[in-house]
Amino acid sequence: MSVLPPRAVRGMSDILPDKTRLWSWLEGQLRQLMSRYSYAEIRTPLLESTRLFARGIGAGTDVVEKEMYSFSDRSGDSLTLRPEATAGCVRAGMEHGLFHNRQERLWSYGPMFRYERPQKGRYRQFHQLSVEAFGMEGPDIDAEQILMTRSLWQQLGLTPYVQLELNSLGTAQARAAYRDTLKTWLEQRQDALDEDSRRRIHTNPMRVLDSKDPATRALLTDAPQLPAFLDGPSREHFEQLCASLDEAGVSYTLNPALVRGLDYYSRTVFEWTTTELGAQGAVCSGGRYDGLTTQLGGKPVTACGFALGMERLVLLLESCQRLPELAAEVDAALVSCGDLGSYSLLLADKLRAACPGLRLQLICGGGSIKSRMKRADRSGARLALLVGESEKEQGTVTVKFLREERDQLQLSFDDLVSSDLLASEPLADPGSPGAVKTGKYSGSH
């Protein structure tokens, strides 16, 4: 009886080596952005107690209602794989007194888990960059976070492909008044609504505004709108934010129906969307969550943040053909010609010790010289360093140029190390892409 080989869990992807280079590069770009704006990294556990999310995100939200991976551990505690990073970050900040009379700018990065219907741009394990600022009440931090994301689009060449939508949800009180009015309005029209929306009238009526159902959407054009309910201070906060964005030349669309799927948002909400990825158009979403610490039983702390979906960002770079040309990961490949025992193994480490930046691949595993040379070529290296009996005897290395028409050289170890031949190619940054030439090796030693 044949046994089926194991497969990955549905909606959870392997990121294979041909993609991890792009991912690492992109992660480097994000890390750079974070430090340019003076954000510090925080790492929190992937598992948190279920009640953190139920209380923090809100029991009536889609995420808590139907998307969480929750289970009881061996002692019967209910744990949940984090569906987003903000609640955990706030929990950590409260637990370690990070918000006590001070401001914090924090970022984190890693996998999130939601039990969703997998499709392009929507997965059950996905990655987010999550950015949070605490203790800043004025709209300058909201504006700065938006400018920060704009700077990222510029850095990645994505500016023409993303649009900014903006709204203010006001304070919890203003929103409650709006929610009641909207609820009554929706109840009077419930027969015309899709099934999900009909259910949400009672659990989370504002979420109906986010419905993707065409008939519901058409009906909603006449629905009461949130901006009319905004309290004075929220209105002023929002006007100041808009004025800063205008001054900074950021274009945006005011979308009074933009509500976020998590209950902790207040005042500013924003979303960078793209039309390049079909239905999964939200690339980066965020806003203010001044109420979260109190919702979790702590003192009030003002906060503003956003999360950026990595998979969608990668898809966007691919679909807009904005992929960087990444430098090869190997500078040189050491090929042993003949049976030299451990000579090449030791020589490789001697070279690594003498040239600290060198990325050297030792061609292992035996095989004919031809197949070793093929592997050297496939490694992407610029140089093949060949050693045979005569090189071993003379203490030399034969250098073959795999990507350019140039005569091979025979150099002593010291000459090789002191030449600039083994200088590592700088890894590509978007300003100076380092191209990989993948010429075929065709000569023989």
Binding site for ligand ATP (CB under 6 A): 84, 114, 116, 121-123, 126, 128, 261, 280, 282-285, 307, 309, 311-312
Strands (E) in 314-389, as ranges, are 332-336, 360-362, 383-387
Q: Which of residues 278 and 357 has its CB atom nearest to ligand ATP in the complex?
A: 278
Residue 264 main-chain phi, psi, to 5 deg: -80, -5
Shortest distance in whole angstroms from residue 272 CB to ligand ATP: 8
Let me know: does 114 contact 140? Beta carbons within 8 Å.
Answer: no
Q: Which of residues 312 and 400 has its CB atom nearest to ligand ATP in the complex?
A: 312
Shortest distance in whole angstroms from residue 262 CB to ligand ATP: 6
**Nearest-angstrom CA–CA distance, 194 and 213:** 7
Q: Which of residues 136 and 162 has its CB atom nearest to ligand ATP in the complex?
A: 162
Shortest distance in whole angstroms from residue 280 CB to ligand ATP: 6
- Taking Cα atoms as reference points, which of 91, 107, 103 lies closest to residue 134? 103
**Nearest-angstrom CA–CA distance, 307 and 106:** 12
**Nearest-angstrom CA–CA distance, 367 and 355:** 28
CB neighbour list of residue 249: distance below 8 Å, 6 or more residues apart: none
Q: Which of residues 112 and 327 has its CB atom nearest to ligand ATP in the complex?
A: 112
Shortest distance in whole angstroms from residue 362 CB to ligand ATP: 39
Q: Which of residues 189 and 322 has its CB atom nearest to ligand ATP in the complex?
A: 322
Shortest distance in whole angstroms from residue 123 CB to ligand ATP: 4
| CB-based closest residue to ligand ATP | 309
In this structure, the number of other CB atoms found within 10 A of the CB of residue 227 comes to: 15
Shortest distance in whole angstroms from residue 117 CB to ligand ATP: 9
Q: Which of residues 257 and 358 has its CB atom nearest to ligand ATP in the complex?
A: 257
Shortest distance in whole angstroms from residue 430 CB to ligand ATP: 21
Lookup: tokens for 328: 């090869």
Let me know: does 210 contact 259? Beta carbons within 8 Å.
Answer: yes
Let me know: does 220 contact 257? Beta carbons within 8 Å.
Answer: yes
Q: Which of residues 86 and 336 has its CB atom nearest to ligand ATP in the complex?
A: 86
Q: Which of residues 44 and 361 has its CB atom nearest to ligand ATP in the complex?
A: 44
Helix runs in 305-424, H state only: 310-319, 343-354, 369-378, 389-394, 413-418
Shortest distance in whole angstroms from residue 309 CB to ligand ATP: 2
**Nearest-angstrom CA–CA distance, 223 and 391:** 82
